[in-house]
Amino acid sequence: MAFEFPEPQPSEITSESDFARRRSLIKGLAGAAVMAGYSPSLLASDTCPPGITIPDYSASLTPKKSATGYNNYYEFSTDKEAIRILAKSLTLSPWTLRISGEVENPITLDLDALKKLCTEERIYRFRCVEGWSMVVPWRGIMLADIIKLANPLSSARFVRMSSIVNPKEMIGQRRPVLDWPYQEALRLDEAMHPLTMIATGMYGGDLPPQNGAPLRLVVPWKYGFKSIKAVQHIELLSDQPVTTWQKAAAKEYGFYANVNPDVPHPRWSQRREVPLGESRKQPTLMFNGYAEQVAHLYRNLDMTKHF
C-alpha cells in the first residue's frame, strides 16, 4: 500500500479534504505508532507542494528506544550504546548551514530560516551497511528545497556535505579515527530527488543529539553511512569528491552505496538484515525498498562496479 501526500489547492492554503486525508492517514498509523513510541502530529506540511508517492512501511515502525539508543556517530565513539549519553555535550544552538561552491547565490541559513521551508513527517526504512535496519518516522525538509535557495550553476554536478568539527565537545574527534570533518556526497540528481531529506526531527519530536541534531541527511535507498549527521556545510561541486568512508576503506565503501542485496560487502553478505529491536533476520530489499522511486537514476551505471 502506498499513500500520496496531499496536494495543495491553488486558491487556498489548506482545504478541508486535505486536512481530512492527512488525519485519516495518521489515524491509520495510530496502533503501530503508539507501540513504537511515536505520536504523530499535524504539521505545516498540509501546505507542502505535492510530493511523490512514498511506499508505506509504517506497519513495521522501530521502537523509539532502539532507534535512539543504538547509534553510529564516530565523532563521539565507536561504542553504539555510549553515543546516546556522550552526544548530550554537543552545543546545538546557534547553528548555521552554509551553502557554497558552484552556486549563483552562496547563502548561510540559521535554523529559523530553515523552519520557514515546508516541513513534513515521513516514515522511511533505513539500512546500515553493517547489517541492521530500522523504520523511522522522520520530520524534515526536502534537500532540494534547501539547495534551490542557493541557485546552483549549470557547472554543479555533485553535492558534498560536511559535519561539524568540535573536538572539545565531540570526544571521538580527538583521535584520527576518521579524517575529520566527516564528509559525504551525492550526485546532484540524487541530492535533488524528492526522497532525499534533511531531517530536523524524529518520532514526532526534535532530533535527539545522538541521531544527528540539529540537521542530518536522510537518503533512504543508500546505506546509512551516507546519511551524514550534524551537517554544517553544503558545497556544490563540478567534480566527484572522495568521501570520508572512501578515504578510510575505498574497497569496502563506495561513493554510491546504494542498498543492494546482490553486491556483498567484501567481509559479509548483504542479503539479509536484522531490524533493531528484533532478533530475526529479514531479506534486504533492492534500493532498500525504494527501487520504484530511484532505479531510473542508475540506468547507465554498472552497480557492481560502482557500489
Ligand X SMILES: Nc1nc2c(c(=O)[nH]1)N[C@H]1C(S)=C(S)[C@@H](COP(=O)(O)O)O[C@H]1N2
Chosen residue from 67, 87, 128, 147 binding Mo ion by CB under 5 A: 128
Residue with cell 541527511: 217
Instruction: Tell me: does residue 219 bind Mo ion (CB under 5 A).
Output: no
The Cα 126–Cα 227 span in angstroms is 10
C-alpha distances (whole Å) from 90 to each of 48, 85, 95, 106, 201 are 31, 11, 11, 27, 16
Residue whose CB is less far from Mo ion, 72 or 133: 72
C-alpha distances (whole Å) from 229 to each of 6, 23, 163 are 29, 31, 6
What's the min distance (Å) between Cβ of 13 and ligand X? 33
- Beta-strand ranges (E) seen in 49-157 are 54-55, 96-101, 107-110, 120-127, 132-142
Instruction: Tell me: does residue 87 bind ligand X (CB under 6 A).
Output: no
124 binds, among Mo ion, ligand X, none (CB under 5 to 8 A by kind): none
Instruction: Tell me: does residue 137 bind Mo ion (CB under 5 A).
Output: no
Radius of gyration over every alpha carbon of the chain, rounded to an integer in angstroms: 19
Instruction: Tell me: does residue 132 bind Mo ion (CB under 5 A).
Output: no
What's the min distance (Å) between Cβ of 28 and ligand X? 26
Binding segment toward ligand X, per CB under 6 A, in 14-22, 37-45, 111-119, 225-233: 225-233
Chosen residue from 5, 38, 74, 221 binding ligand X by CB under 6 A: 74
What's the min distance (Å) between Cβ of 227 and Mo ion? 8
As given in the structure block, the three cell numbers for residue 154 are: 549549470
Chain residues in the site for ligand X (CB under 6 A): 71-75, 128, 163, 182, 211-212, 224-225, 227-230
